[in-house]
Each structure stands twice: as C-alpha cells, then as structure tokens.
Chains A and B, each alone.
Chain A
C-alpha cells in the first residue's frame, strides 16, 4: 500500500499541472511586481532601474494617500456592516420557518457580476430617472442630490451596493457557523433561565468568534482590494473622490503608462493585504481548526 501510494512519478504527474500554473500565474508575477516597482517603465520599452524612487514618490503622492484613505473607509464600513449581517443570521438560525428561503434570496446579488451590479446601480442612482431620486421626489424632496457626482456623497453611495452585494454571503457564513453550535448548550442555558439575548450574547457569540474573525479578515482585505464596482460606476471620480488603491494602480499602469509606479502600488497593496491578514489573525488567534461544511 505505502509503496503504491508514494510513487514519485505519479505524485509529480498529479501535482505538476496545478503547481506550475499557480507558480506561473500567481507567484512569479508577485515577485515581478516587486521588481517592476523598482524600475521606471512604460510597459513597452526597456526597464530602467531606479531603486526605491517609486516608493519615495508614493509616500509623497497625495492622490495615493487619498485612495488609501478611501479604501480604509470602505474597510471600516464593511466591518461595521458585519454586525447587521450577524444579527440577521442570528435571527435566521433561531429555527425560524423559511430560514432556508430567506438565506437563498439574500445570496442572489452576490452571484451576479460586479459589472451588471454596477450598471444596475448606476441607473438606480440616476439623477432624474433612478429609483432613489424618484422615491425621494415622490415624498416631497424637491432637489435630491446626484449621488455619484457629489464628492462628499460618492463613497457612501458606492458603499450601499457593496452592502447589498455581500449581505447574503456573510449571512450565509454566519448562519453556517451558528448552526454548528450544539443545541444542547442553548437548551441547558434555557433551563437555567437565560433569555434569548443572553444566549445570543454569552453563548452563541463567543462560539461563533472564530468565524467572526475570519469574516473580519475577509471584509477588510476584500475592501482594500475592491475594484470592479467602483471602476465601472465612477472610475474613481468625481475628481478622484472615489479612487481606491486598486483603481489608482490600474489608472497609473494602464492609463498613464507608468507601469513601474503602478507596480509599486500593486506591491504595496499586496504587502498591506498580507500584513493585515496576519495582524488580524494574530490579534484574534486562539485555535484555527474549525470545520464548516
């Protein structure tokens, strides 16, 4: 048995296709991103090594810091909205009739492409024909704002579809976690006279903590690399007021043809995502092995 199951040729044959792909498409590009970031390069001509100049420029680049600030705001928004998702999941997991159906309905937006969602929400926010402003006008608000054209409102306006898109995803994860908690604990607490709120706060929340930590990582890292929806809806505008890190990278590389600088942003994004994942994991580390399936 052991001899058959440690046949090196077969192992190599099984592992190689996927391994080579992930090295070529994920890991080598990551190394190259770091390298390109040390160069001046327009994407076509020769690379000119300039050391850390791109990174020095990055530190002084106010537009970059603005985009990082917008990404951070999205991360905070998203993390806060986890509370709402968790509350809804708690209700759904409390053996409520139709919980399955609700859970599925909530999930639908998450299955659609960001482009379709972005194009739909562009119309929802349309200054004159969109549903938001039509509704506002019908309740007597005469001049509702053009949501996506207002620098002070645009980030908030973009956050709503993001909240809408991911609601079902997080509710689903929380629901699965809460369903995994043995009912015996809850029943014992009930016999001791604990109220539903006490059970939620003192039993369910601590037991779901592992998953809550994972979702915080997902929400924060997901927000930091957020791109598609913003790219389609506002393209970072008006006047950079919704530019985020990933869109700034894209604009620098593929619009301004400054691939070296774009790569420096890309590398920064990578480092920040890995560091934040690591920090949140460390801060919240207890045990890592929970099975949800």
Chain B
C-alpha cells in the first residue's frame, strides 16, 4: 500500500530500485512535515490543558512544558462558580440555540421560496443575501448600537439574537442552496396533484428531506454564535446577559495572575466546541467547505 501510493504520488513510470528509495524517502519526508504541522496545531491547546491543571507555583517555578504532576482539577470547580462563568455559559447556550434555530428555519423558508417557487425578483432577493456576505460586521456596528439603543434593545439578549440571525443568514442560505437545487421536483409535483398545499409540502415533505444539510448548517451556526465577540462586547453591559466569550475576557481581566484559573476558564469556553467536533467532525468539515468557498 505504501509503495503503491508513493508510486502514484511520484509519477511512477519505469522506476528503478534507486528511484524507489528516493520515493520512499520523499514520502517519509512528507509525513514528517504533515505530522509536524499537526503537532503545531495541537500543541498550544495541549499546553493550555496543562496549565489549567496547575497552580501558580507550578506554573511559575516548573518548566513551561512540564506535565501537571498533581492535576488540580479543582481549578475547574473553582472557576465555575466564581466570576459568573456558569451564568455566562448558560447564556451562551440558550442564545446560541435560539439564534441557530431561527436562522435555520428562516434560511430554509427563503431558500425554498427562491429555489422552488416562481416569482419575479427572486434572484434579486437572493442577491441581497449573497452581497451581505461581503459586508464587514464592523461597518454596521455603530448604527446597530444606536438603533438598538433607541428601541431599548441594548443590554438585551434580543440584540444579539437578531444580529446573529441576520449575519449568519447569507452563509446558511448558501449552504442550503446547493441542496435545494438538487432536490427532485417529482415529489412536489405528485404532492401538488394530490392537492397538497405549499405549507404542508414544505413542512411535511421538503423540510424533513433536508435534515442532513440542516444539521450541517446548524452546527456551523452554533460554532459562529458560540464564539461571537464584538456584538456581545458592544451591546451587552450587564453581567446577566453576557455570553462566555466576553465573560471569559472580563474574568481574566480580574484574575490576571492566576494561570490555573485562567486556563480552566478558557478550557470551559472551548470544550463544548471541541466535544462537538469530536463527534461531528465530518459534518463540520463539510459545512465549512460548502459554505466558504463562494465567499
């Protein structure tokens, strides 16, 4: 298998023994590079895990790369209740879920109307969504802040939910588009002949048929919403509504010297994503590849 792959990799025709050795060598070299890159990608996270399990004395006195010999799991228990991390965590969860569900439903409805139904202006509307992808979030920040301020939505979770839904809508529609275009029309035709209404057709037939791509878009949305920073940082001022990204930032501001606590907080903020990735990496990879390329 190894040499077969290497042969294909290197071109292969008329290889002598010397060439085979060179190929093997080149092949190993490629692997070394790939593994080194993988190590570089993972190493900072492993180090984070290490210092999240140490106390300050161990962080400052032992070599930076030493293993946590007596893992201080209590760091995690300690920070969970201190500095509102648990509150921020639950805010992140519900705001992420609500925004994701709304985005996926609204996005599906638009995509259905644009791809399956006949109306003037459908391509214009689709264009509006696609162009929005090019618009930097920062250019909308000041007016959004003043609008939300006027209608009493600053320091209100709705400001976050509305922003997340709007800004994730383009990429959600983009991922859904290809799937909707590929759906066979026969099912719908048969349903219409049977006297099925559009609503019924969409909710009973089409929507369930898209469940796999819906899962992909939902996961992509969740990752973006979970990690969002600038809107929370700008719109939300009271602790009751802060999400984890900003909460972590504040917490660290107050406890800059306790590395173990900081490490544990950071780990808590990234664990849900890492666990999701562990189980659903194929969907995530698919979604990112499908959604980003046309950006």
A18: interface (CB < 8 Å): yes
Query: Assuming A115-B249, A129-B259, A218-B292, is B117 touching A5 (CB within 8 A)?
Result: yes
Q: Which of B11, B143, B228, B252 contacts A32 (CB 8 A)?
A: B143
Of all chain A residues, which has the CB nearest B4? A95
Tally B residues with Cβ within 8 Å of A: 107
Asked whether B143 lies within 8 Å of A164 as measured between CB atoms, the reply is no
Q: Is A124 in contact with B44, judged by CB distance below 8 angstroms?
A: yes
Q: How many residues of A contact B (CB 8 A)?
A: 108
Q: For the complex, is A103 an interface residue (Cβ under 8 Å from B)?
A: yes
In the bound complex, residues from chain B placing their C-beta under 8 Å from that of A21 are 106, 162, 165-166, 169
Say yes or no for A211: interface residue by CB 8 A criterion.
yes
Asked, given contacts A95-B5, A134-B65, A273-B134, whether A17 binds B106 with beta carbons under 8 Å apart, the answer is yes
Shortest CB–CB separation between residue B248 and chain A, in angstroms? 6
Indicate if the CB atoms of A113 and B41 lie closer than 8 Å.
no
- Residues facing B in A98-117 (CB within 8 A) are 98, 102-116
Query: Which of B2, B41, B178, B284 is the one whose CB lies under 8 Å from A105?
Result: B41
**With contacts A22-B128, A26-B140, A259-B146 known, is A232 near B249, CB below 8 A?**
yes
From 103 to 156 in chain B, residues with beta carbon under 8 angstroms from any chain A beta carbon are 106-107, 109-110, 112-114, 116-119, 125, 128-129, 132, 134-147
Beta-carbon nearest neighbor of B38 in chain A: A105
Chain A residue nearest to B118 (CB atoms) is A6
* Nearest chain A CB to B254 CB, angstrom units: 13
Q: Which chain B positions have C-beta within 8 A of A246?
A: 136, 138
Within residues 4 to 46 of chain A, which ones have a CB less than 8 A from any CB in chain B? 4-8, 10-11, 13-15, 17-19, 21-30, 32-33, 36, 43
Distance of A260 from chain B, by nearest CB (Å): 9
Interface string of A180-221 (1 = CB under 8 A from B): 000000000011011110010000000000010010011001
B-side contacts of A143, CB under 8 Å: none
B249/A102 in contact, CB under 8 A: no
From A50-58, A73-81, A151-159, A249-257, the one touching the partner chain is A249-257
Q: Is A241 an interface residue (CB 8 A)?
A: no
